[in-house]
Amino acid sequence: MAARIALAVVVLGGVVVGVAYGWRGLAVYAFLAAIPAALTFGAAAGGGWLSGASRGRFDRRRGGGGDD
C-alpha cells in the first residue's frame, strides 16, 4: 500500500513538472527520480544476495560432516 502511494506521488510530481516546465523539465525529473529508484533496487537485490550467501554458508557448515 505504501509503495503504491509513493509511486502515485512520484507520478503526480512528474505530471506537475511536465505541465509546468515541459518535456525538458520532465526529462530532468525522470532522470533524478530514476537515481533513488535504481539505488533502492540495487540495495534490495544486493541485500537478497547477501542474505542468501550468508544462509548458504551456515547451511554448508552444518550439513555434511566433512572437515569440521
Residue-wise pLDDT for 18-47, tens only, equals 999 999 999 999 999 999 989 988 888 888
More confident residue, 68 or 35: 35
What does the longest C-alpha to C-alpha distance in the chain come to? Answer: 67
Residue 63 lies in a domain: no
Residue 3 inside a domain? The answer is: yes
Q: Which band of pLDDT confidence, cut at 50, 70 and 90, is reported for residue 51? A: confident
Count up the domains in the chain and report the number. 1
Note whether residue 65 is domain-resident.
no
In a domain, 5, yes or no: yes
Judge whether 27 lies within some domain. Answer: yes
In a domain, 67, yes or no: no
Q: What share of the chain has pLDDT > 90, as a percent?
A: 40
Asked if pLDDT for residue 68 goes beyond 80, the answer is no
The structure's pTM equals: 0.62
In a domain, residue 7? The reply is yes
Q: Which domain holds residue 23?
A: 1-58
Q: How far is CA 25 from CA 38, 60, 66, in A?
A: 20, 53, 62
pLDDT of residue 67: 52
For the chain, how many residues are written?
68
